[in-house]
Every structure is written in structure tokens, then in C-alpha cells.
Structure 1
């Protein structure tokens, strides 16, 4: 079926469907990146908590390693990072879920519209 045969309104819906798929893909990638970072923070927190209190710790600031004030300050910072990442992950999961629902709904509508537009018109 040539694109000239598809009604303009349906073409617009197909474009929006493709845009929504792209948006969903971006949100999914962001969520996956946040999950990776969250696992890294959780592992770091676990390791730092195992250390003795007098063990020197360093934290990364840009491309520099700076000696941390204390084990507690590092733990506090990691816990704050973890909390922020968990909130971000939850937000992205909700957004991903809503987009999946909208996408399924729109895909169904577009498929129905395509079927209707392919039916031969009575002469």
C-alpha cells in the first residue's frame, strides 16, 4: 500500500505512534541507566559500611579524588544518592508504564483504522 492511499489523519497517527515509541525507548534507557547507577551506589554503600571507622576514604569530585571527612559523611552522601536514584527510578517506571498503556491503545486504534482504510470501497 502506497503512502498516498493512507488518509492524512492516519498518517499523523502513525507519526505520533512512532514518536511515542521513541519516547518510550528513551525513558526505558534512562531507567536502565538509573538502575545501574543505583546498584553501584548500593554496592559502594555496602563496602563502606564494612570498613573500620579510621580507614581513610576518598570521594570522587569531577576528575579528582578528595579525602573524605569521615566514614559517616561518605555513608550519608551515598544514602542521599541512593534515595534520589530510587525516586528517579520510581518516576521513570511510572512514566514508562503510562507510555506503554498509551502506546498499546494508540497502536490498536491505528491498526483498526488501517484495516478500515484497506477495505475495498463499494462502487
Structure 2
């Protein structure tokens, strides 16, 4: 009976490890999950197989909907960033390089209509 329990415990650990390390269709591997005091997931961090030094971060509303998605490298914003309304509609989108806005940023109203477009330093030199 003790042997049966050990085998079952080993099998459960194996299944959990395989589940946590599953790659997503975009070749991102789940690295970290953060939960609030209620146990609700509010943040997930993924590593990218094409660039292991770069991460994709997803932040969620309490309801479970996606609130924000961005990329970072060495702890700094680097790549596209999108923010969403609670309804799931896109609120803001733009690119970042080394924690600086770069190029075109689009801002949307809750009904999905484009509200404003702004342009930032094309070299990512800190122009904001």
C-alpha cells in the first residue's frame, strides 16, 4: 500500500510539472503566476523561446479579463504594449524601447472609436 501511495504521488507531481511547463502556440513558456490574497490570478509572466532574455507580461482584472499586455527586457518595457478596458475593448496601444515610448501611440474610447494618436521620439531617446 505504501508503494502505491508513492507511485500516485510521483504521478501527480509529474502531471503538475508537465502542465506548468506547457508551451503556448506562440512559443511562450509560462514562467511565473502571481495571485492576490483571494487566490485570483492577476499577473502572468512568460519567457519567449525566440529571445530568452525577453518576457511577455499579462496583467488581469479581478474578473479574469486581460487588463494589460507588454514585453520587457532586463526589467524595462521593450516592445508593443496594449491596455484594455474591463469590457475587453482596446484602450491604448504603442511601442516601447528601453522604458521610453517610441513611434505611434493610439488611444481609444470605450466604444472602440479611435480618440487620439500621438507620436513620440523615433529613436526612443526619452522624448515623451
Scaled by the length of structure 1, the TM-score of the pair is 0.29
Higher RCO structure, 1 or 2 (CA under 8 Å, sep 6+) = 1
> Larger C-alpha radius of gyration, 1 or 2?
1
